[in-house]
Amino acid sequence: MLLAPGLGEVRERLDDAEPAWLGVAIVFEALSFGSYILMFAPIFCRGMSMRRSWQIAGSELAMGSIVPASGIGGLALGAWVLHEGGMNADHIAHRSVAFFLIKSSVNFVAVAVLGMLAFCGVGPDLSPALTILPACLAIALIGAVVLIPRIGTGRAPTEEDSKPRRLWLKSREALVTGTTESWIVLKRRDWRVLVGAIGYWAFDNAVLYATFAAFGFEPALMVVLLGYLIGQLGGLLPIPGGIGGIDGGLIGTLIVYGAPAAVTAAAVLAYRIVLFWLPLLLGGIAFFQLLRDMPKDGELSIRGSQGPAV
């Protein structure tokens, strides 16, 4: 790659990292971890204890460190645990979609708003291709999500349907119903959902900003946010630890937006180390606690299937 910095230069940058800023990055990632746990219970089961939310959501984040795929691997683990606790499978599928949409929506709304502000002259002087274009794409995606319920859930699968057809019908129903339920959850205005979703996104972005500061460079906020978004798209690839997918998206985008190549590579590497190890270590503790105290069959069935608690 023409934009890739030399490894020797990156190593020199790593040696010059400011420990205090790396410590700040670790604190920010811990706060992002806590935000995820905070919003987990009120989305899946409002009667769930914080201890159980810590165990299940923390285990999800540990799994997400190993197989990111935008958090889908972790959600699959959480779905299995919830089902073992007796929660209705349809409820799990619907709320998994709602959780994913709520967690991801903050990022796209931020890109849409800040992209338009940058295009209007707020912040660094960037070309329209780097401001209004990402904003329009984010708005288009948000609009597509809003329109999903109009597709309709479709008919229920029957025994006569082929396996691919049944999978499609179930997936369509889960997507449409889950999208609708995400709006229901947001309309409750539960502070745990709002603070958790915003905190998960904001503190994770702050980790990236802090790792840049550790190497003596402070990028514009818009640059960090867009780099973060592209990085998450790279994280859709099911690569262990997200190595290559997230890294390539972050480094390439940030360099295109004007960040120095060697500093960017070093900052993203430090960011990925924090992003990988802290959730893995904290989530590993939650996972071993979960193994010792798995939800008993029926523990979540009543709360997971009746209106007032979901």
Average pLDDT per run of 10 along the chain, which is 310 residues long?
Answer: 48 74 96 96 88 93 75 78 86 91 90 86 77 88 91 84 87 92 92 96 93 88 77 52 56 80 86 91 94 78 46
The reply to whether 309 falls in a domain is no
How high is the pLDDT of residue 4?
Answer: 47
- What's the rounded Cα separation, in Å, for the pair 256 and 141? 23
Which has the closest alpha carbon to 134: 146, 122, 142?
142
Which has the closest alpha carbon to 27: 191, 209, 192?
209
Residue 40 near residue 79, CB atoms below 8 Å: no
The reply to whether 222 falls in a domain is yes
The reply to whether 160 falls in a domain is no
Domain that holds residue 274: 25-155+178-301
Residue 65 near residue 280, CB atoms below 8 Å: yes
The reply to whether 205 falls in a domain is yes
The reply to whether 170 falls in a domain is no
How high is the pLDDT of residue 42?
Answer: 93
How high is the pLDDT of residue 298?
Answer: 65
First to last CA, the chain: 50
Beta-carbon contacts of residue 36 (< 8 Å; ≥ 6 apart) = 57, 60, 61, 103, 196, 200
- What's the rounded Cα separation, in Å, for the pair 20 and 210? 10
Q: What is the number of other CB atoms lying within 10 angstroms of the CB of residue 240?
A: 11
How high is the pLDDT of residue 305?
Answer: 41
Residue 223 near residue 45, CB atoms below 8 Å: no
How high is the pLDDT of residue 69?
Answer: 54
- Domains in the chain: how many in total? 1
Which has the closest alpha carbon to 282: 71, 99, 31?
31
Q: Burial letters for 29-43: b for 16+ Cβ neighbours within 10 Å, e otherwise?
A: bbbbbbbbbbbbbbb
- What's the rounded Cα separation, in Å, for the pair 276 and 270? 10
Which has the closest alpha carbon to 259: 297, 227, 235, 299?
227
The reply to whether 118 falls in a domain is yes
The reply to whether 195 falls in a domain is yes
- What's the rounded Cα separation, in Å, for the pair 49 and 126? 47
The reply to whether 262 falls in a domain is yes
